[in-house]
Structure 1
Amino acid sequence: MPGEKTVAADGTGAADRLADRRTGESRDGGTRGGADGGISGGAAAGRPVRLSADALARGELTVRGQVREASNAVLYCTITYEGATGPCVYKPVAGERPLWDFPDGTLAQREVAAYELSRATGWDLIPTTVLRDGPYGQGMVQEWIEAAPEDAGLLALVERDEPGPGWKPVGFAEVGEGRTALLVHADDERLRRLAVLDAVINNGDRKGGHLLPAADGRLYAIDHGVTFNADDKLRTLLWGWAGEPLTEEARTVLERLATALAEGAPLATRLAALITGAELAALRARVADLLRTGVHPRPGGDWPPIPWPPV
């Protein structure tokens, strides 16, 4: 089973917390929901205004509150541009906590780089994200995505040894009082695409709270500050396809990425301004390796394969 290492999940509410993608702390300090002051402005007929990259980069940014329980400064804001107002997240570089394995003050840039990669795949799994100045200096500004409250759930803990139909196993989790439960994720093509994207960007922190199923059926993923490290850092809850062949769609996307990442190509040029030369070289190597092996990666032995806490 991919996640052989047992992870802990506190108490009887673990399954409920795993099923809630709208809250939870992230290593790089991002959440959705729980902003002081609540969600205001930018909603019409119950649907938030969608913000373009131009609006995010050029609009008037107003801080409305702070997202609580985040490792780094995460501010809930609104953007007003050309008469329209919509919600967004602003993570100023000045509010980033130093990490031993990432250069200081680079998490916002990595978030933008992850968005650029997502956009290049054509899957558009990451909300529109830009780097710009704000009230507290330069930072990442990202379109706010409200998770659909009625979604069926993408992660679960089940008290049996094998997943049911439509689910993939990750590993066993301690749920208190000496009991364990099997952590599973949905066998969902949206998650499978995200697993490929995470392998490409070397995501060191893919948690359940980072998955935002939208009302229109699309899946968005957030919190990509700890990505693109030159060393293998992949930590994720999406190990269910580990060792399985990549889909034909994924192979086509990876071939397109390999071309887009060639020296001098527009995507490579944009990324070179956001991550280091060594990290860009490692990115190219990961794409080439996925194409060579033709399978989803397996957990490595030198880095914990499952993030903690998993939500």
Structure 2
Amino acid sequence: MSAPDLVTDELVLTGRLTTASNATFLGTIGDAVVVYKPVAGEAPLWDFPGATLARREVAAHLVSETVGWDIVPRTWLRDGPFGEGMVQLWQEPDPDQDAVDLVPLDQVPEVGWRTVLEGEDQSGRAIALVHEDTPALRRMAVFDVIVNNADRKGDHILAMADGHRHGVDHGLTFHHEDKLRTVLWGWIGEALSTEELDGIRRVADALDDELGRDLAALLNPEELAALAERCTRLQGDGCFPAPSGEMPAVPWPLF
């Protein structure tokens, strides 16, 4: 049996993810399980242009491919039962792993985790938002700075059984203003590794080549210029940034 053509073969819907803020469906293309987000199902936003989220998701995948860290699963634009939309290969995370968690403050692990913030739950119990301290998650944090991710929730990080970490839900990316909102603030001010700087350089160089041409069909010129500036600034600073601007530093809800 030949592999399905993911762009032209029929997309058959099998369910809907009702917790998503925009219309999000599960489906199949042949034997491939996919997520489908039609442009027609995008809710209007006050701070992002309308009907652009699907293209931003595809742009995030292109940057992920260029940086070379396999963060965003394969993502593309195609027609579907509700019109054009973003389609992404489904990833099945390990239910026994959590890359980000809320834990009682007195139970924060001493090794292998970073604390992002502390607070109280509904019952007044002291809790902490923590994430694992791993190279895979560091790379995702760097990627989020590059694409200016305004919505890196804990549930947008898929912990795979082999230790890999996929990032999903990248519709709120590439704004020309600083919009970085993430649960991955555990490395503020720390030096970027050689591997991380090499990844940023690959993106910066590719913006003058094929990547830049592909992104020009998905983003506006101001957003492309801001992307290049973020790469330049990251390379010059050589460290993880701190929150800036007037917007909250973390998304809400956190998960």
- What interval of TM-score do these two structures reach, taking the shorter chain for normalisation? over 0.9
The CA deviation at 1:174 is 2.1
Instruction: Kindly state the Cα deviation for residue 150 of structure 1 after the two structures are TM-superposed.
Output: 2.7
| Amino acid paired to 1:242 | I
Cα pair distance change 1:135/1:161, threshold 3 Å:
closer
Match of 2:28 in 1: 78
Q: CA deviation at 1:302?
A: 1.2
CA contact (8 A) 1:56 1:143 kept: no
2: CA distance, partners of 1:162 / 1:216? 24
User: What is the identity, as a one-letter code, of the residue corresponding to 1:68?
Assistant: T
Identity of matched residues, %: 48
- Distance in 2 between residues matched to 1:227 and 1:76, nearest whole Å: 22
Which whole-Å CA distance do the structure 1 matches of 2:166 and 2:105 have between them? 28
Choose which of 99, 105, 109 in structure 1 pairs with 2:51.
105
Cα RMSD (Å): 1.6
Question: What CA deviation, in whole Å up to 9, does each residue of 1:259-307 have, x standing for no partner?
Answer: 1112xx1000000000110000000000000001000110114110011
Which is bigger in relative contact order (C-alpha 8 A, separation at least 6)? 1
Rounded to whole Å, the distance in 2 between the matches of 1:278 and 1:297 is 22
Q: Which position in structure 2 is the counterpart of 1:66?
A: 16
Question: Structure 2 length normalisation: TM-score?
Answer: 0.95
- Report the 3-state secondary structure (helix = DSSP H, G, I; strand = E; otherwise coil) of the residue aligned with 2:150: coil
CA distance in 2, matches of 1:290, 1:272: 22
CA distance in structure 2 between the partners assigned to 1:77 and 1:161 by the alignment: 40
Q: Which residue of 1 aligns with 2:215?
A: 271
Alignment of 1:209-288 (within 5 A): 209-262=155-208, 265-288=209-232
SS at match of 2:65: helix
Q: Which residue does the alignment assign to 1:119?
A: 65
Q: Where do residues 175-214 of structure 1 align in structure 2 (5 Å cutoff)?
A: 175-214=121-160
Q: TM-score, normalised by structure 1?
A: 0.78
Aligned length: 253
Please list the CA deviations of residues 70-93 of structure 1 after superposition, one character each: whole Å capped at 9, or x if unmatched. 11100110011xxxx121000000
1:208-250 per-residue CA deviation (whole Å, 9 max, x = no partner) reads 1111122333211100000000000000000000111111100
Cα separation, 1, equivalents of 2:49 and 2:168:
20
Give, in whole Å, the separation in 1 of the partners of 2:250 and 2:99. Answer: 19
Matches within 5 A, 1:112-191: 112-151=58-97, 153-160=99-106, 164-191=110-137
Could you tell me how far apart the structure 1 residues matched to 2:104 and 2:240 are? 24
Give 5+ residue unaligned stretches, structure 2: none
* Kept in 1: contact 2:100–2:129 (CA 8 A): no
Query: SS of the residue aligned with 1:56?
Result: coil
Q: Secondary structure at the match of 1:298?
A: coil
Q: Distance in 1 between matches of 2:195 and 2:99?
A: 24
1:100-137 residue CA offsets vs partner (Å, 9 max, x unmatched): 11110000000000000001011011110000111111
Aligned structure 1 segments of 4 or more residues deviating by more than 4 angstroms? none
Aligned partner letter, 2:118: F
Q: Which runs of 5+ in 1 are unaligned?
A: 1-51
Q: Distance in 2 between matches of 1:304 and 1:154?
A: 19
Give the whole-Å Cα distance in 1 for the aligned partners of 2:210 and 2:245: 35
Q: Report the AA paired with residue 116 of structure 1.
A: L
